[in-house]
Each structure stands twice: as C-alpha cells, then as structure tokens.
Amino acid sequence: MKDYYEILGVSRDASEQEIKKTYRKLALEYHPDRAPEVKKKEYEEKFKEISQAYRVLSDEEKRAQYDQYGQTFEGNQGSPFGQQDFHSFHEAFGGQDIFEDLGFGRIFEEMFGFGSRSRAKPNVQYGQDISLDIDIDLEDSFNGAEREVNLRKMIVCPKCKGKGGQSLKKCPACQGSGYEQINSRSLFGIFIQQRPCSQCNGRGEIPEKICSECRGHGRIKQTEKIKVTIPAGIENGQILKLTGQGDAGLYNGPAGDLFVNIHLRPHKHFQRQGVNLVFNLNINFAQAALGDKIEMPLLDGKINLKIPSGIQPGEMIKLKDKGMPRLYGRGHGDLIVKIQVNIPKKVSRKQRKLIEELD
C-alpha cells in the first residue's frame, strides 16, 4: 500500500499550504473530466488515490493518527470513486465554482451537488447541451461570417409556459422537496441515496391538470433558426459556444448550451499554418533566372509579387501581415510564398544553346 506522502509527492514535514498546493496541481492534472477516453479508468483511480491522501493529510487530527498508526487507522473510511473525492477537490479550491472556471462542465454539479447552480436551486433541471458541425471556407475564417442553421431542439411549451399544466400543487410523494430517499443495505451497513422524485421529476410540485400540448413535460420539440457568428481568424477544429441555445430545461429550468464545431474546407490556393498562409507559386526557368513581376491572389484581393533574379527552387518569400487575422489579438500572420520552378523536360537546340551560354 502506497504511502500518502509519496502519493502527493511531499515530505513528511510538509506544511498544510504545501500539501494543498500539491494536491490542487495533481487534482487538475488527473481530473476524470480531462481524461482521454482510453485512460478514463486510470485517471479515476489516480484521482481517487490523491483525494484519499489529501483527505487525511489536510486534516490535522487524521494526519497525526496516520503518522502514528499508518493507513490502518482509517478502517473502512475509504469509499469507491465518488462524492467524497469531489468534495476534497471542491474544498481544496476554496469552495469556488471551480467547475465553471476550469471548464469541467455541469455533470459533476448535478452528480455531486457542487457549484453555485446547485446551491441556489437544488431542484433546477438544466436542458441538455447540443453539438453541431459547420463547414466553412478559408475566406469565411479570414473575413468572419454568419450562418443560419435549422436546429431541432426542445423549447418551452408555448401553451403552458413550461409549467406542464394548470394549478400547481405540492407533490404528495416528496412533500415539495423534489427528492426521494432510497435506502439499501450491504455488508458495510445502510447506504442512503437521494434522487429526483419520480412523481414530480424533481421540481417539488405537480399540476392538477396536465397540459395537452406537452403532456405535462413543460417543453416540446421544434425546429428553430439559430444565427451563428463565426469570428475572423477561427481555426479548423475550434468550437464556438452559444450559451442558452441548447435544449430548454424541464419546467422552465435554464437551457443548455450549443457547441458549434468548426471544420475548414481545403482551399485551392492556400494552406493554413496557424496564423500564416502558404502559397505554392510556379514559375518558369526564365523567370527564375531573370526575375519577374507576377500577379498572385490573396484572400482579400491580388498583389504584384516581385521575383528576384536567380531565385532557387524551394526558396520562400515572406509577405508580412498578409496571412490570417489573429483570433485573440491584433494584426495578421504572414503569407509564405514557396517558389516552384518548372524545368522543361525537353528543350530545342536553340534553347539548349542559350542555357549553355548561361554557365
């Protein structure tokens, strides 16, 4: 069995602040919500391990007992991966709304009761988030664009205004609490679990007369037009979040969010490399040897590019600030022009003589 100090990577005389600081770093690194799918189990086990170590070493009395007796003092205090691991996580960050700030999502708020949402209204039932994909051209990413999409989603029932019916009264099953308690017995004793009331679906009240439009659910499915604003500079694979544009919550609960996955179509002239653009320019042997001025396209127009004499195949010309706009900041990237020299496979006698005279 591993030593708790070893698990957190601190010395046995580490201060309370040092233990908390180390735990916070490890907890963020191994939080299950950040785990790759193939490492989900590994992250859960690691998160449980460091949380258990922190629960003991952050408590002055438990730490003293641990230093004297080792892990045997805990008896059966350890538990499967679950609520107390996340309470340790939440406490270590000072009770902040850490799931919002660090992007861990609503799932842990709903499962374990953390965050300002669950503290304010425990019976609130949030709508589901929705994800969709949009394909755009490089010009859209360069200039910014707007798209209208038809989105089929849950909306608040227009007939009952989300109430599910008329004349709401206190739920007789949960007495208005919104929860029902389930007791189960095991070898370790009686486990008490709370879950949303099955009769009122967790809201604590029920209508005397059910709405005929939504059949008591307070929402219906309908297609809506959603306007998506695509900012200039967005890259392939980035995600836009439209707050409150997901499914409506049950019984006027807050709506979920809409996440738009951006996919950039290949361009016939340019390749994107971060904020820079790359353009392959084909010139002939004479242009490479003697130099030239060539008109070439830009995403917002055209430019006359000067080719210096004697340029070699594979050389690059950098056009400053002619690349993509920066999404988070001012200015543009650069346009990199790669020179490709077309060398003829066959030449006439006259051409051969002229080439030979170049030596």
Q: What is the CATH number of the domain that holds 322?
A: 2.60.260.20
Asked if residue 199 is part of any domain, the answer here is: yes
What distance, in Å, lies between the first and last C-alpha atoms of the chain? 78
Question: Looking at the structure, do residues 182 and 287 belong to the same domain, yes or no?
Answer: no
What pLDDT, in 10s, does the model give residues 226-251? 999 999 999 999 999 999 999 999 88
What is the token pair recorded at 311?
A: 């340029």
Q: Which of 23-37, 140-154, 177-191 has the lowest mean pLDDT?
A: 177-191
Share of the chain above pLDDT 90, in %: 49
What pLDDT, in 10s, does the model give residues 319-354? 999 999 998 778 999 999 999 998 877 878 887 777
Cβ neighbours of residue 100 closer than 8 Å, sequence gap 6 or more: 115, 116
| H helix intervals, the chain | 4-8, 16-29, 40-57, 60-69, 83-92, 98-101, 107-112, 115-120, 138-143, 285-290, 349-357
DSSP sequence for 144-208: -EEEEEEEEEEEE-TTTTTSSEEEEEE-TTTTTSSEEEEEEEETTEEEEEEEE-TTTTTSSEEEE
Q: Of the candidates 264, 293, 319, which is a domain's last residue?
A: 264
Question: Looking at the structure, do residues 142 and 252 belong to the same domain, yes or no?
Answer: yes
**Cβ proximity of 273 and 264 under 8 Å:** no
Asked if residue 108 is part of any domain, the answer here is: yes
pLDDT at 197: 86
Helix axes of 40-57 and 16-29: crossing angle, nearest 10 degrees: 170
Question: Looking at the structure, do residues 247 and 290 belong to the same domain, yes or no?
Answer: no
Question: Looking at the structure, do residues 146 and 248 belong to the same domain, yes or no?
Answer: yes
pLDDT band, very low/low/confident/very high, at 73 (cuts 50, 70, 90): low
Q: What is the pTM of this model?
A: 0.60
pLDDT band, very low/low/confident/very high, at 92 (cuts 50, 70, 90): low
Q: Of the candidates 264, 287, 305, which is a domain's last residue?
A: 264
Question: Looking at the structure, do residues 297 and 253 belong to the same domain, yes or no?
Answer: no
What pLDDT, in 10s, does the model give residues 113-168? 444 444 334 466 789 999 999 999 999 999 999 999 999 999 999 999 999 999 99
Amino acid at 13: D
**Cβ proximity of 99 and 108 under 8 Å:** yes
Asked if residue 97 is part of any domain, the answer here is: yes
Q: Of the candidates 264, 296, 320, which is a domain's last residue?
A: 264
- Which range marks the domain in which residue 35 is found? 4-120
Q: How far is CA 231 from CA 10, 117, 242, 273, in A?
A: 45, 30, 13, 18
Q: How far is CA 23 from CA 26, 34, 47, 75, in A?
A: 5, 16, 10, 23
Question: Looking at the structure, do residues 229 and 274 belong to the same domain, yes or no?
Answer: no
Tell me the sheet residues that pair with 218: none
Asked if residue 125 is part of any domain, the answer here is: no
What pLDDT, in 10s, does the model give residues 261-290? 999 999 999 999 999 999 999 999 889 989
What is the token pair recorded at 246?
A: 């997901």
Integer Cα distance of 87 and 187 in angstroms = 25
